[in-house]
């Protein structure tokens, strides 16, 4: 039986506790933690991209400790098989029958580490789990326990031994967060902590499964005006036909714009930003705050853009400047 739902203030206090517990281990990556919580509280998968050593894996594993949820980490490698992820049928000699051995995907929180190092068949198996919240082993389909969230890390695709993720799979990630190097003061703190051989990384679990569903309910109650809903639609359409929004310079570089999933993700993420800011209504700044993380991986530019040094980030910034809130 689920526990009674708490008040909005109670949930806000628990979220602050979660941030405090995370900061015991993770230094200077508050932005990444914020985005992971947005994904968790809206049921959206999150992709973290950055060079090795920026605490992407540490941050996700620490978040798992703050949650009363079943957590599994999967290291993606070129020789990983779909059965290594979802499970397989094994023969039980004592019973003379096949039985299912479930894989690590059967968890609430799955860390797909270096997700772009595995080939297409593994990505296909992960895609079904992300989209359908189920996996197929043999001829049987098994539902996954909720909440179910994939938090993936990837190295830049230019690195040796990486595969670019299929567009269909990338689109299933609600947010793609670029993780950058720390500031000097933060890196100094990291160095001092890790140089201390007695350094402890113990954190206390704060948020339960019921808390997560309760927070999701609270976020659903956050109000967003019709004007801002139309603004989201205009931003999305500007990625598809920039010339119609007084941005003809990007039309020649565009292969295709964002899908309707971007509209849904931007709507949900903006409400989550408002809630984390302790408001029950969305401001234009909330939409702009998450626009880049929602849109950047869904816009596909052509080779001409790459040759001319044009990035999706440049296009998004131009769209945010040009598209008015009417």
Q: What is the pLDDT of residue 194?
A: 78
Interatomic CA distance for residues 281 and 271, integer angstroms: 7
* Three-class secondary structure of residue 279 per DSSP: coil
Domains of the chain: 8-213 (3.40.50.300), 222-322 (1.10.8.80)
Say whether pLDDT at 156 is over 90: no
Closest CA to 71 of 35, 108, 99: 108
CA angle 101, 102, 103 (to 5 degrees): 120
Q: What is the mean pLDDT of residues 293-312?
A: 92
Say whether pLDDT at 158 is over 90: no
Calculate the alpha carbon distances from 4 to 1, 11, 37, 220, 275 in Å: 9, 12, 22, 17, 20
- Which residue shows structure tokens 């947005």? 38
109-113 and 97-102 as β-strands: parallel, antiparallel, unpaired?
Answer: unpaired
300-301 and 254-256 as β-strands: parallel, antiparallel, unpaired?
Answer: antiparallel
- Which residue shows structure tokens 């903006």? 270
Which pLDDT band holds residue 291 (cuts at 50, 70, 90)? very high
- How does pLDDT run across 72-128, given as a tens digit for each residue? 999 999 899 989 998 887 877 787 777 888 899 999 999 999 888 888 888 888 988
Q: What is the pLDDT of residue 90?
A: 83
Interatomic CA distance for residues 129 and 19, integer angstroms: 28
Residues listed for the chain: 326
CB 116 within 8 A of CB 164: yes
Chain centroid to Cα 54, Å, comes to 16
pLDDT over 70 for what percent of the chain? 96
Q: Please give the model's pTM, rounded to 2 decimal places.
A: 0.90
**CB-CB neighbours of 41 under 10 Å:** 26
- How does pLDDT run across 99-108, given as a tens digit for each residue? 888 899 999 9
Strand segments, DSSP code E, in the chain are: 45-49, 71-75, 87-92, 97-102, 109-113, 134-137, 140-143, 149-154, 173-178, 254-256, 300-301
- Which residue shows structure tokens 């909720």? 146
- How does pLDDT run across 194-253, given as a tens digit for each residue? 777 666 678 899 999 999 999 999 999 999 999 999 999 999 999 999 999 999 999 999
pLDDT over 90 for what percent of the chain? 57
Q: What is the pLDDT of residue 160?
A: 64
Chain centroid to Cα 264, Å, comes to 14
Say whether pLDDT at 2 is over 60: no
Which pLDDT band holds residue 6 (cuts at 50, 70, 90)? confident
Q: Output the DSSP codes for 136-163.
A: EETTEEEEPPSS-EEEEEE--TTSTT--
Q: What is the mean pLDDT of residues 29-33?
A: 90
Q: What is the mean pLDDT of residues 242-265?
A: 93
């Amino acid at each position: 039986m689920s526990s009674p739902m708490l008040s909005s203030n109670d949930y806000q206090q628990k979220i602050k506790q979660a941030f405090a517990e995370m900061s015991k281990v993770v230094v200077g990556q508050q932005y990444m933690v914020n985005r992971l919580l947005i994904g968790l509280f809206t049921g959206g998968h999150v992709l973290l991209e950055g060079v090795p050593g920026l605490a992407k894996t540490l941050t996700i594993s620490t978040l798992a400790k703050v949650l009363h949820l079943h957590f599994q980490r999967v290291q993606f490698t070129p020789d990983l098989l779909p059965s290594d992820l979802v499970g397989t049928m094994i023969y039980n000699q004592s019973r003379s029958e096949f039985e299912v051995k479930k894989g690590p995907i059967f968890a609430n929180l799955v860390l797909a580490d270096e997700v772009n190092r595995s080939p297409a068949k593994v990505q296909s198996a992960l895609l079904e789990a992300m989209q359908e919240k189920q996996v197929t082993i043999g001829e049987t389909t098994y539902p996954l326990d909720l909440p179910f969230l994939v938090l993936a890390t990837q190295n830049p695709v230019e690195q040796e031994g990486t595969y670019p993720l299929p567009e269909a799979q990338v689109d299933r990630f609600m947010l793609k967060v670029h993780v950058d190097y720390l500031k000097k003061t933060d890196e100094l703190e990291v160095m001092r902590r890790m140089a201390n051989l007695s350094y402890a990384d113990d954190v206390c679990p704060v948020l339960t499964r019921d808390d997560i569903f309760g927070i999701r309910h609270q976020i659903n109650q956050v109000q967003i005006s019709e004007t801002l809903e139309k603004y989201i639609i205009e931003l999305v359409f500007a990625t598809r036909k920039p010339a119609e929004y007084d941005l003809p310079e990007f039309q020649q570089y565009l292969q295709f714009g964002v899908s309707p999933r971007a509209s849904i993700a931007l709507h949900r993420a903006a409400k989550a930003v408002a809630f984390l800011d302790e408001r029950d209504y969305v401001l234009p700044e909330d939409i702009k705050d998450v626009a880049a993380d929602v849109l950047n991986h869904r816009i596909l530019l052509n080779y001409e853009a790459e040759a001319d040094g044009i990035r999706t980030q440049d296009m998004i910034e131009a769209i945010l400047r040009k598209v008015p809130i009417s």
